[in-house]
């Protein structure tokens, strides 16, 4: 999508603090972090939301989570724990309509969520 900010970041049109990149995903630091470690894991291919996923996307979505596991180890938060969040739709808190996984760690998470 030509007007998607995450697509522009992935293409390199907008600078970002890249943490990781491979042929399927790009991971960047969130510009408004909600935790000491707040990384967004983005599929390189545009998908609007979870509601737009197809069965063909299962491997890609799994790769988002295995990338999160790898980033947790690199950030030194794997043993202490971290939170993974994927917002879907406006009521779910999604503000950028390019599916992405929030990776938050480095401090105890608060409850309740919502």
pLDDT band at residue 17, thresholds of 50, 70 and 90?
A: very high
Q: What is the mean pLDDT of residues 5-28?
A: 96
CATH 3.30.428.10 fits 5-51+58-89, yes or no: yes
Q: Looking at 63, 98, 100, 111, which residue is catalytic?
A: 100
Q: What does the pLDDT look like over 20-43, one tens digit per residue? A: 999 999 999 999 999 999 999 999
Average pLDDT, the chain: 95
pLDDT band at residue 111, thresholds of 50, 70 and 90?
A: confident
Candidates 1, 112, 20, 17; CA nearest to 73 is: 20
Map out the domains of the chain as residue ranges.
5-51+58-89
**Does 100 participate in catalysis according to the annotation?**
yes
pLDDT score for 102: 98
Q: What is the mean pLDDT of residues 57-68?
A: 98
User: In the predicted model, is pLDDT for residue 16 greater than 70?
Assistant: yes
Q: What does the pLDDT look like over 83-92, one tens digit per residue? A: 999 999 999 9
CA torsion sign for 94, 103, 65, 8 is positive
User: In the predicted model, is pLDDT for residue 14 greater than 70?
Assistant: yes
CB 88 within 8 A of CB 51: yes
- pTM equals 0.94
């Amino acid at each position: 999508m030509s007007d998607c900010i995450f697509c522009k970041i992935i293409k390199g049109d907008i600078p970002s603090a890249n943490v990781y990149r491979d042929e399927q995903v790009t991971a960047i630091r969130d510009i408004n972090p909600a935790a000491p470690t707040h990384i967004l894991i983005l599929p390189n291919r545009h998908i609007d939301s979870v509601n737009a996923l197809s069965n063909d996307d299962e491997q890609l979505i799994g790769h988002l989570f295995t990338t999160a596991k790898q980033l947790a180890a690199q950030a030194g938060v794997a043993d202490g724990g971290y939170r993974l969040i994927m917002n879907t739709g406006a009521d779910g808190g999604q503000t950028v309509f390019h599916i992405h996984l929030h990776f938050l760690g480095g401090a105890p998470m608060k409850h309740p969520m919502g």
